[in-house]
Amino acid sequence: MKASASETLDATVRRSYATLLGYLASRAGGDLAGAEDALSEALLAAVKQWPEQGVPERPEAWLLSVARRRLIDDQRKSQVRERFSESIQQALESADELAGSGEGFPDERLKLLFVCTHPAIDEAMRTPLMLQTVLGLDATLIASAFLVSPVAIAQRLVRVKAKIKAAGIPFEVPEREQWDERFSFVLDAIYAAFSCGWQSSFESQTRGEMAVEAIRLGDLAVALVPGEPEALGLLSLMLHCHARRPARVDATGGYVPLDEQVIALWDHSMIDRAERVLKTAGEMSRPGRFQIEAAIQSVHAQRRVTGRVEWLVIAKLYESLLTFTGALGARIGHAIAVGHAYGAEQGWALLDALPMDRLEEHQPYWAARGHLLWQTGRVEAAREAYDRAIGLCDDAAVREYLMGRRNAD
Amino acid sequence: MEYMLIFTESAADFAKRNDPNEAPAYWGAWSAYAGAVAQSGIMVSGAGLQPPETATTVRIRDGKRTLHDGPYAEAKEMLAGFFVIEVPDLDTALEWAARSPASSYSSTEVRPVMPTPSKS
């Protein structure tokens, strides 16, 4: 009995956390922190009461009703009387009625995504905030993924939520004229969650989990806004990369670069899905950064069929990617692709032209530099670059791989 | 701010230093890491330490002096070396800590260095 109560609660949280929080916050005048507190109080009440009194028939409605009562109490007690307006009171009352009526709640999760990625919020905090409020992840996991101390991240999350309330960041979906930019912030924040789960993620559990969570967010964005090709592009990109995860490490835990991976180890049904998603995006004829990045991954995946990597196609795709973004990663990728497609000297010329000031501590840059210098026969300089990449590396498997390259004859 | 990165290693890690099969990778990783720290211009000071069995511990209690062979306390992970680095904030210090080879097999502790009291 007890097990079933806690299982139901877990499943409810997993399924409906963001829906409940979005609903409460939007009816509490955008008070995200207050809504969160109220919801956690309701969850706590459920932990205590469900095993004794039985699981309610509609768990979401039960939680909503408890949280709503707590919110109303809080708003009454609140020193800032003017915040407790008639309209908020009414909204909360109607929330309760709705919860009782058995109808579904309006889905406010999209508003939640937009609040978390509002331009008034520090860019570095948008992804952690999204992971916490939309997925309900705990601060320690977020801290580990982003390499920030758990105390610091918890404090920053509190501060961000205080700012949302104090600055009156609106709990709403942006107007048409702001839509594209604001939606791109949502996608950027999701991608940041995925990248921290990806860039140097060969064996790390935390980062693997983070990639899965990012894909959940990507699925959510697509479900909430089906007509946005870039959301589909991002989802396809993440699925492509994640599908190759099992092939990135060999039997002894060593790192395997993409073009040497054993194809049989790829998750082919996930790749198939990535391809379908990308095709749907393509049919909307509005290309963008994430669709092109997904297309690059799709070309790599075609090695399943052709047995080879079409570097000419990849180089062309990087060229068009650079018309959408000047990101370092894209420029380094372009140089590598050109090196494969047109010769190492040409690739090296592109890489060497990048502005050094932002690259000092960028490990992928030094690895690419080592690779291209090696290809062009400048062995000593290549070794120096590899040394720098090794020193900047935070992953044991990649470090070992780079050392192998460095010491090759 | 100054932070001390305190690197620890297990007995097996210490053994790699002189194992002909493991030593090149061990020292290669450490020298690359130290090189990257130095080239970034954040190094204040630092050193690697000889293994724990070379330690001698001194203790004075009630006027009685005792020496013992070995480190202060036996632990799974022992002090292997340290860097003091000058970086803007804890986040940056954590980034450098994550890059240390010790973080991949044992651990790296990050601690702010106490500011020197000004003499005035």
Domain contains B17: yes
Token duo for residue A238:
């993440």
**DSSP annotation string for B40-89:** TT-EEEEEE---GGG-EEEEEETTEEEEEES-SS--SSEEEEEEEEE-SS
Please answer whether residues A379 and A343 qualify as being in contact, where contact means their C-beta atoms are separated by less than 8 angstroms.
Answer: no
- Rounded to the nearest 5 percent, the helix, strand and coil shares of chain A are 75, 0, 25
Range of B19's domain? 2-112
Q: How many domains does chain B have?
A: 1
d(C-alpha A330, C-alpha A328), whole Å? 5
d(C-alpha A200, C-alpha A311), whole Å? 23
**Residue A390 to residue B24, Cβ atoms within 8 A:** no
Q: Which of A361, A365, A388 to mutate to test the interface with B (most CBs of B within 10 A)?
A: A361
User: Angle A59-77/A32-53 helices, nearest 10 degrees?
Assistant: 130
d(C-alpha A391, C-alpha A393), whole Å? 6
Please answer whether residues A195 and A329 qualify as being in contact, where contact means their C-beta atoms are separated by less than 8 angstroms.
Answer: no
Instruction: Identify all chain B residues contacting A400, using CB atoms and an 8 Å cutoff.
Output: 25
d(C-alpha A195, C-alpha A370), whole Å? 23
Domain contains B118: no
Between the alpha carbon of residue B92 and those of residues A22, A351, B88, the distances in Å are 34, 26, 7
Residue A402: closest C-alpha in chain B: B29
d(C-alpha A115, C-alpha A32), whole Å? 9
Handedness of CA A312, A318, A377, B26 (dihedral sign): negative
Beta strands in A111-257 (DSSP E): none
* Confidence at residue A4, expressed as pLDDT on a 0 to 100 scale: 82
d(C-alpha A133, C-alpha A176), whole Å? 25
d(C-alpha A88, C-alpha A120), whole Å? 24
Residue B98: closest C-alpha in chain A: A394
Q: Which of B40, B42, B43, B104 to mutate to test the interface with A (most CBs of A within 10 A)?
A: B104
Q: Which of A360, A392, A405 to mutate to test the interface with B (most CBs of B within 10 A)?
A: A392
Q: Which has more confidence, A7 or B46?
A: B46
Residue A393: closest C-alpha in chain B: B99
Q: What is the pTM of this model?
A: 0.84
Which residues fall within 8 angstroms of residue A302, CB to CB, at 6 or more apart? Answer: A310
Q: Which residues pair with B106 in a beta bridge?
A: none
Q: To 5 degrees, how large is the angle CA B33–CA B37–CA B41? A: 160
- Residue in B36, B39, B95 nearest the CB of A147: B95
CA-CA-CA-CA dihedral for A240, A245, A250, A256, to nearest 10: 50
Domain contains B117: no
Domain contains B8: yes
Please answer whether residues A370 and A405 qualify as being in contact, where contact means their C-beta atoms are separated by less than 8 angstroms.
Answer: yes
Kindly give the parts of chain A with pLDDT less than 70.
1-3, 78-106, 197-206
d(C-alpha A361, C-alpha A382), whole Å? 17
Instruction: Identify all chain B residues contacting A399, using CB atoms and an 8 Å cutoff.
Output: 29, 101, 104
Closest CA to B83 of B73, B93, B75: B93
Q: What is the ipTM of this complex?
A: 0.80
Instruction: Identify all chain A residues contacting B104, using CB atoms and an 8 Å cutoff.
Output: 394-396, 399
Neighbours of A262 (CB within 10 A): 10
Neighbours of A35 (CB within 10 A): 29
Give the three-class secondary structure for B100: coil
- Residue in B35, B90, B103 nearest the CB of A391: B35
Q: How far is CA A223 from the centre of its chain?
A: 15
Residue A360: closest C-alpha in chain B: B40
Domain contains B100: yes
**Residue A392 to residue B99, Cβ atoms within 8 A:** yes
Residue A406: closest C-alpha in chain B: B28
Residue A390: closest C-alpha in chain B: B32
Which residues fall within 8 angstroms of residue B22, CB to CB, at 6 or more apart? Answer: B15, B16
Token duo for residue A5:
């109560």
* Confidence at residue A136, expressed as pLDDT on a 0 to 100 scale: 85
Between the alpha carbon of residue B26 and those of residues A168, A402, B6, B18, B23, the distances in Å are 54, 13, 17, 9, 5
Measured in angstroms, the CA of A397 and the nearest CA of chain B are apart by: 9
d(C-alpha A355, C-alpha A359), whole Å? 7
Q: Find the length of chain A.
A: 409
N-terminal to C-terminal alpha carbon distance within chain A: 66
Residue whose token pair is 């180890």: A265
Read off the CATH number of the domain in which B78 is found.
3.30.70.1060
**Residue B33 to residue A360, Cβ atoms within 8 A:** no
- Mind listing the pLDDT tens digit for each residue in A314-342? 999 999 999 999 888 999 999 999 999 99
Instruction: Identify all chain B residues contacting A149, using CB atoms and an 8 Å cutoff.
Output: 90, 94
* Confidence at residue A97, expressed as pLDDT on a 0 to 100 scale: 60
Classify strands B78-86 and B56-61 as parallel, antiparallel or unpaired. unpaired
Instruction: Identify all chain A residues contacting B34, using CB atoms and an 8 Å cutoff.
Output: 391
